[in-house]
C-alpha cells in the first residue's frame, strides 16, 4: 500500500485503541542489539513485509491466514484485552473474557490484513537500543518509505511466555490500548461483554470483505 495509506493505518490504530511509554519514573536501561524483544518485533515485521509483497495474490483472506501465526506470536492479547476492558474485567465470567480476547484478536489480525494491501518499498527499522521500564521492554521502531518521512512508533512489551506486545504508541505517546479502551467503554457500559463481542466481530467481518 502507499506510504500515505500506511501512515493513516498507524494513526487509526492509535486513535481506535496505558499511559505514555515514557511516563515511568524509572530510568531507561539500554539493552543489547540481540535483545529478544527486538528479535520478536523483527520477526513480526519480516512476516508483515512478506505479506505486503504478496498482497494482491493473497487477497485479504489470504493475508489474514499468513499474518495470523505471526500476530499470535507477537501480541499478548489477554493482557491487552484486560487493560482495554478495565475494572469490569474482574466481574466477567471466564467465558465472556475468552470471547472478548478472541474477538479483539481477530479484529487486530484483520486490521493488518485489510490495510497492508500492497508494497511500495516500505521497510521497518528497529532500534538496537531496547529500553527497560518497570519490568517491560520498550522497542523503538520506524517505518520508512521511499521519498517519505519515516513514521516512528514504539512497542511496549511484557514477558508472558516470551516477550510480547502489550501496547503500541504512535510517535511515542499515543497509546492504542488507551484509545481503544475509551472507544469501547460506552459499549461495555450499555451492553456488557456480549455487546462488545458483537461490535468487534462486526468490525472484523467488515474488514475481511473482499
pLDDT number for residue 86: 94
Looking at residue 25, its pLDDT comes to: 32
Q: What is the pLDDT of residues 23-32, one digit of tens each?
A: 333 344 444 5
Output the pLDDT for position 30.
Answer: 46
Residue in the block written with cell 507477537: 74
CB 76 within 8 A of CB 158: yes
- Report the pLDDT value the prediction gives residue 128, as an integer from 0 to 100: 87
Q: Which domains does the chain have, with CATH numbers?
A: 3-207 (3.10.450.710)
Q: Which residues of the chain have pLDDT under 50?
A: 1-31
What is the model's pTM? 0.84
Query: How many beta carbons lie within 10 A of that of residue 78, not counting itself?
Result: 16
* pLDDT on residue 14: 36
Residue 33 confidence (pLDDT): 54
CA dihedral sign, ordered 67, 151, 17, 139: positive
pLDDT for 21: 33
H/E/C letters for each residue in 36-96?
Answer: HHHHHHHHHHHHHHHHHHCHHHHHHHHHHHHHHHHHHHHECHHHHHHHHHHHHHHHCCHHH
Under a CB-based contact definition with an 8 Å cutoff, are residues 143 and 123 in contact? Answer: yes
| Phi and psi torsions of 196, nearest 5° | -70, -40
Amino acid at each position: 500500500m502507499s506510504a500515505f495509506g500506511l501512515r493513516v493505518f498507524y494513526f487509526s490504530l492509535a486513535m481506535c485503541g496505558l499511559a505514555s511509554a515514557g511516563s515511568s519514573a524509572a530510568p531507561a536501561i539500554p539493552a543489547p542489539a540481540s535483545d529478544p524483544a527486538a528479535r520478536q518485533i523483527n520477526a513480526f515485521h519480516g512476516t508483515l513485509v512478506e505479506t505486503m509483497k504478496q498482497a494482491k495474490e493473497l487477497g485479504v483472506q489470504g493475508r489474514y491466514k499468513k499474518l495470523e501465526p505471526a500476530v499470535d506470536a507477537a501480541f499478548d492479547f489477554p493482557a491487552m484485552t484486560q487493560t482495554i476492558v478495565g475494572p469490569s474485567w474482574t466481574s466477567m465470567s471466564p467465558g465472556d473474557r475468552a470471547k472478548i480476547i478472541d474477538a479483539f484478536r481477530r479484529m487486530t489480525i484483520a486490521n493488518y490484513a485489510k490495510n497492508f494491501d500492497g508494497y511500495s518499498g516500505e521497510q521497518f527499522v528497529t532500534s538496537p537500543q531496547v529500553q527497560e521500564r518497570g519490568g517491560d521492554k520498550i522497542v523503538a521502531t520506524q517505518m520508512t518509505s521511499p521519498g517519505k518521512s519515516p513514521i516512528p512508533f514504539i512497542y511496549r512489551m511484557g514477558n508472558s511466555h516470551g516477550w510480547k506486545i502489550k501496547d503500541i504508541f504512535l510517535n511515542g505517546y499515543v497509546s492504542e490500548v488507551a484509545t481503544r479502551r475509551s472507544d469501547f467503554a460506552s459499549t461495555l457500559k450499555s451492553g456488557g461483554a456480549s455487546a462488545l463481542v458483537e461490535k468487534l466481530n462486526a468490525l472484523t467481518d467488515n474488514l475481511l470483505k473482499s
